[in-house]
Structure 1
Amino acid sequence: MNASQPTQSNILGLVFSKDRAMQLQAVLDSLRLHLRDPQAMRLAVLFRASSPRVGDQYRRLRTRYPDVAFVEETEFRSQVLSLIRPSEMVLFAVDDNLFVRDFSIGDICAALAAHPDAIGFSLRLGRNIHRCYMRDVPPAQPAFIPAAPEIVKFSWPGAPHDFGYPLEVSSSLYRTAELLALLEQLPFTNPNTLEGLMAANAQLYAAARPGLLCFEQSVAFCNPVNLVQTVCPNRNGADPAYSVQRLSDLFDQGHSIDVTLYSGFVPQACHQEAELVFRGGTETKPSPPHRPLVTVEMAAYNAAGHIRRAIESILAQDYEPFELLIVDDGSTDDTAAIVAEYRDPRIRSIHQDHANYAAARNRAIGEAKGHYLLVVDSDDTIAPGYIQAMVAHAEQNPGADYYYPAGLTLVDDAGRPTGVVWRYEEIRDSRVLIAVLFTLGKSVIPEPGSLVRRSLYERTGLYRPVETAADFDFLCRNAGQMRFSRVAGSMPYYYRVGSGGLSRKYQQRNEITAAALEEMISRYPAEILYPQLAQVSDPAERTCRFHEYLMMTFYSHAQTNAGRFSEPFRQRGDRYRTLMIESLTKTGRLSQSVWSMTGNQRPLELFRCAVDRLRSGRPDEALVYMDETRSGGFEMSGLDYARAVAFVQLGRNDQAIAACRAELNRRPNPDAEQLLTQLGQWASLEPSVSPNQTANPSIVSTT
């Protein structure tokens, strides 16, 4: 090794692993088998275990490989930076890698030293790669040029698929110093966001480092037989024999993957599903399945009227083991006496001075003994088999830490179903959730009925002790580091819709919600909150558009909460409107904006924008433009009818009726008359029937 190459102590191999001890063992075994100069590289494994059982499996691997540094993940970003910072070179790998041909780290470092224009060295690329697994297409190969014996180089900018993906974490080696310059600016939280953000910024290196090195023939590939993460919907195998749970069971029985059988394997893609062949193991009867303890947490305040039904529904569960932890938040009724009637050893009760629901939840989280926590409100119930279904899903999908039901079944005060079910969609990408939370100003992930790994709170911290909307505030702050999984096969969770309680505290809720949204602006990159910004390259235009988006978002929330203490949203909308005008002025684009127009053209253009928003299903934004249309004292034909249509779409029927009447007081309008008649008919229907589910009033023309 010449003087220009790093010393052996300054080369780090960093393997990322989560809940896949058996597959990680195959990585380490195949690397030992094929690395010709193992003394040239230190090895470290940064791992995450989603259950005590898996944690024990990693501890056994640590004993088996004393020369490998096993580091349990606590704060991914800081740990990655700390691990790689002392090294001159870093080789990233993941726990579904398999090494299949002999290679030398020394040869790789020498090639990088001889080719300073190369961004890195890929172990999974080569002339043998003829297919992109993730997109299931055959990519055209780039023009390879010889770089060293058995090593080639190609230009990656503009190359197709895997060949145009130079920054990744699945078996590539990089110069640490220039990689750190990028990583220290990126807000990554796990291997997937690390790779995604690296790839998104690869063009920064295109001019200075347009080359990428690889062997003539791949020495490694990824074997995606299963999936443990929920950040990205990556393609993977569906054979249940290779499920994470099944491989974990085999690992406990002493089985391992026979990596010798893959020596000489020539992959056709960087990711390629290959049959797993096992060795070892025992033929003894397997031990009973591991069943983690579940803490059912119940915060109660003056819940005497309903808590007995809630407790009974939990004691009727067929899952064991569980504990029911009830935190009485200073009740002044018979709640404590009712709880005391139960002598079941699975019930624990804690009394605290009255604070609020969030404080009671924090107390429960701190006192819980379970690996999982299940949230059941003191006035709700769960169907038989609920815990069993939730835990089974969680154990089969260890890549997540927050499992939520597909729906909540609404019941009245007596516990009778109302016929309404609140449905929740699957959200796999936390980045999407961040944007949705900001746009809607409300949660699309339920808290009641959700099963949560206790380790999540060790990573995120607890709830802020706010009076209401604590769950929304928690999601706004932590969604980026949470992994969600929707339990499609969950049993019913019966959610009581009451007439009082936290849902009535509109003023406090809106103040807390607006503050949480404001905090998101400083917490997350603009492209996360407003993904369309990624298509805008000019910095000045990006600033203008982002300020306009923030203005419209807060104004829209003010419209959604109109008449119910909407001032916290409106004040923020006004502030971002001022910033938008300042941005437009600096760029010389103020005269082009509808917000700065004057004369008769202004209300016409504003009304056109409003109608466009109505037709695209954004009634809250439409109302913002309509209010602006009217602010100059300009009266336009059809404006009140358009407002009525927007109110109907938002489900605010009283305001829709008032708007129809205002329209008819000014001039005849058959559409307004028809809508007013329909609204009168809907008013006589059952409360569970929502008019905006069936309404399709005509939208007024801008002509």
Structure 2
Amino acid sequence: MNNMPLISVIMPVYNVEEYVGEAIQSVIDQSFANWELLIIDDGGQDASMVICRMFTDKRIRIISQANRGLAGARNTGIAAARGNYIALLDSDDRWDRNKLLMHMIHLEADSSVDVSYAGSRMIDAAGQPLQTAMRPQLTGITAADILKRNPVGNGSAAVMRRSSLNRAAFAHPDVPGRTCWFDESFRQSEDIELWLRLSAAHGCRFEGIDGLLTDYRIIAGGLSANIARQYESWERAIAKSAQAAPQLIARHGRQAMAYQLRYLARRAIQLGDGGFAWSLSLQALRAGPAMMLAEPRKTLTTLAAALAARLLPPAQFQALTARYLGNGAAA
């Protein structure tokens, strides 16, 4: 009898004691049962791992390491994974109970799909739904689409073929014998760097499926709170991608910058920093004025929200937007 799991779920854990139990339970509750969950203890200091060890499901494995960051923890998990498919789950998010089943059907039905993903609900720190969601483009995905809009959307959305992921594997430059899929020199933007490498350099096909199958949690003080550092990391990812796909970056890089600046403006709005949000919104328009024609509603909404955040008293702005953005949160 073959007892090997079909899907390996990789979940890095670092100081997330408030949320990690929900994330684990959402895997245990999956309607598709042939999985293993690899919890990567990335050297945190809170009670996260105490909570993880309370779960006794035999499909769960815990691997401990000194802190290597999100990319390094994911690489450790992928290296230990036994499944033919790799699913990523951040430890502050959670899944719809049919997520793995739906992706399994998608990938088994079409062998040309390398990376499967779906949309995401947005929830606040308490797990309550917000009135916003990620509804990405699902079909006809090109490397340019990934560069400009990143349809995968977040780190808990993707389910991939292990064989496809292995196309992008490389030896760690400083640690003999360690294999990387995510670039461990990135502490942010590691997702988009890998998606671009898979698509532009290795010809992997991305396709989404209907539904909002991930609950993506908006948490105050998350990694994206440092907006300037996030933008610098994104620029590094684009610069690295330019080495493998110079024509792609030359043709679409400016427009991709516009979308990224607009995204960061929306994060600044969530933080209540209206001045910074307004500045980023104007920079986005200067970088890619065609964005106003391509996505007028989202662009105008961002401008209006940035202006409101700039002009209104903080308490009034927060009360006005809490059901859409959460309470002073950033993702």
TM-score tier (shorter): 0.7 to 0.9
Q: Is residue 444 from structure 1 mapped to residue 164 from structure 2 by the alignment?
A: no
Q: Work out the CA distance in 2 between the residues paired with 1:357 and 1:308.
A: 18
Secondary structure at the counterpart of residue 12 of structure 2: strand
Matching of residues 86-125 of structure 1 within 5 Å: none
Shift of 1:443: 2.0
Q: Work out the CA distance in 2 between the residues paired with 1:398 and 1:554.
A: 33
Pairing partner for 1:304 from 11, 14, 17: 17
Secondary structure at the counterpart of residue 463 of structure 1: coil
Matching of residues 561-576 of structure 1 within 5 Å: 561=264, 563=276
| Contact 1:467–1:508, Cα closer than 8 Å, also in 2 | no
* RMSD of aligned alpha carbons: 3.7
Shift of 1:614: 8.1
Determine the structure 2 residue equivalent to 1:332: 45
Q: Is residue 463 from structure 1 mapped to residue 182 from structure 2 by the alignment?
A: yes
For structure 2, the residue ranges without an aligned partner over 5 or more in a row are 170-180, 266-275, 326-331
Change (3 A) 1:402 1:303: same
Q: Work out the CA distance in 2 between the residues paired with 1:411 and 1:468.
A: 21
Pairing partner for 1:314 from 3, 27, 46: 27
Determine the structure 2 residue equivalent to 1:166: none
| Contact 2:26–2:96, Cα closer than 8 Å, also in 1 | yes
Q: Work out the CA distance in 2 between the residues paired with 1:412 and 1:555.
A: 27
Opposite residue 324 of structure 1, the aligned amino acid is L
Matching of residues 365-384 of structure 1 within 5 Å: 365-384=78-97
Q: Work out the CA distance in 2 between the residues paired with 1:506 and 1:323.
A: 35
| Contact 1:329–1:353, Cα closer than 8 Å, also in 2 | yes
Q: Is residue 650 from structure 1 mapped to residue 327 from structure 2 by the alignment?
A: no
* 1:20-42 per-position Cα deviation (integer Å, ceiling 9, x unaligned): xxxxxxxxxxxxxxxxxxxxxxx
Shift of 1:530: 6.1
Pairing partner for 1:616 from 282, 289, 293: 293
Pairing partner for 1:504 from 203, 207, 225: 225
Q: Is residue 422 from structure 1 mapped to residue 134 from structure 2 by the alignment?
A: yes
Shift of 1:683: 7.2
Shift of 1:355: 2.0
Secondary structure at the counterpart of residue 492 of structure 1: strand
For structure 1, the residue ranges without an aligned partner over 5 or more in a row are 1-289, 532-548, 571-608, 620-644, 662-675, 691-703
| Contact 1:385–1:491, Cα closer than 8 Å, also in 2 | no
Shift of 1:525: 4.8
Shift of 1:436: 3.1
Q: Is residue 475 from structure 1 mapped to residue 188 from structure 2 by the alignment?
A: no
Change (3 A) 1:560 1:350: closer
Q: Work out the CA distance in 2 between the residues paired with 1:551 and 1:384.
A: 39
Shift of 1:319: 1.9
Change (3 A) 1:557 1:398: closer
| Contact 1:647–1:655, Cα closer than 8 Å, also in 2 | no
* 1:270-311 per-position Cα deviation (integer Å, ceiling 9, x unaligned): xxxxxxxxxxxxxxxxxxxx9961111111111111111111
Q: Is residue 523 from structure 1 mapped to residue 175 from structure 2 by the alignment?
A: no
Q: Work out the CA distance in 2 between the residues paired with 1:349 and 1:356.
A: 16
Change (3 A) 1:482 1:313: same
Q: Work out the CA distance in 2 between the residues paired with 1:351 and 1:500.
A: 25
Q: Work out the CA distance in 1 between the residues paired with 2:299 and 2:106.
A: 40
Shift of 1:648: 4.2
Shift of 1:330: 0.5
TM-score, normalised to structure 1, is 0.37
Matching of residues 42-81 of structure 1 within 5 Å: none
Q: Work out the CA distance in 2 between the residues paired with 1:555 and 1:493.
A: 26
Opposite residue 168 of structure 2, the aligned amino acid is T
Opposite residue 129 of structure 2, the aligned amino acid is P
Determine the structure 1 residue equivalent to 2:161: 453
Opposite residue 15 of structure 2, the aligned amino acid is N
Change (3 A) 1:550 1:348: closer
Change (3 A) 1:325 1:530: same
| Contact 2:38–2:62, Cα closer than 8 Å, also in 1 | yes
Opposite residue 404 of structure 1, the aligned amino acid is Y
Change (3 A) 1:501 1:370: same
Secondary structure at the counterpart of residue 322 of structure 2: coil
Pairing partner for 1:402 from 112, 115, 133: 115
Secondary structure at the counterpart of residue 231 of structure 2: helix
Shift of 1:494: 1.4
Change (3 A) 1:508 1:686: closer
| Contact 1:428–1:483, Cα closer than 8 Å, also in 2 | no
Secondary structure at the counterpart of residue 616 of structure 1: helix
Determine the structure 2 residue equivalent to 1:53: none
Determine the structure 2 residue equivalent to 1:176: none
Secondary structure at the counterpart of residue 324 of structure 1: strand
Determine the structure 2 residue equivalent to 1:700: none
Shift of 1:556: 7.6
Q: Work out the CA distance in 1 between the residues paired with 2:105 and 2:259.
A: 40
* 1:430-480 per-position Cα deviation (integer Å, ceiling 9, x unaligned): xx3x22344x3x522233132111112211111111111110121232322
* 1:53-102 per-position Cα deviation (integer Å, ceiling 9, x unaligned): xxxxxxxxxxxxxxxxxxxxxxxxxxxxxxxxxxxxxxxxxxxxxxxxxx
| Contact 1:293–1:320, Cα closer than 8 Å, also in 2 | no
Greater radius of gyration (CA): 1
Change (3 A) 1:413 1:649: closer
Opposite residue 501 of structure 1, the aligned amino acid is G
TM-score, normalised to structure 2, is 0.75
Aligned-pair identity (%): 25
Q: Work out the CA distance in 2 between the residues paired with 1:559 and 1:494.
A: 22
* 1:535-567 per-position Cα deviation (integer Å, ceiling 9, x unaligned): xxxxxxxxxxxxxx7667657856775748x99
Pairing partner for 1:687 from 316, 322, 326: 322
| Contact 1:293–1:370, Cα closer than 8 Å, also in 2 | yes
Q: Work out the CA distance in 2 between the residues paired with 1:514 and 1:325.
A: 31
Q: Work out the CA distance in 2 between the residues paired with 1:344 and 1:554.
A: 44
Q: Is residue 484 from structure 1 mapped to residue 197 from structure 2 by the alignment?
A: no
Q: Work out the CA distance in 1 between the residues paired with 2:322 and 2:35.
A: 38
Change (3 A) 1:684 1:445: same
Q: Work out the CA distance in 2 between the residues paired with 1:517 and 1:449.
A: 21
Opposite residue 133 of structure 2, the aligned amino acid is V
Change (3 A) 1:486 1:646: closer
Secondary structure at the counterpart of residue 320 of structure 2: coil
Matching of residues 2-21 of structure 1 within 5 Å: none
Secondary structure at the counterpart of residue 452 of structure 1: strand
| Contact 1:296–1:324, Cα closer than 8 Å, also in 2 | yes
Structure number with greater CO (CA < 8 Å, separation at least 6) is: 2
Determine the structure 2 residue equivalent to 1:102: none
| Contact 1:291–1:320, Cα closer than 8 Å, also in 2 | no
Change (3 A) 1:317 1:553: closer
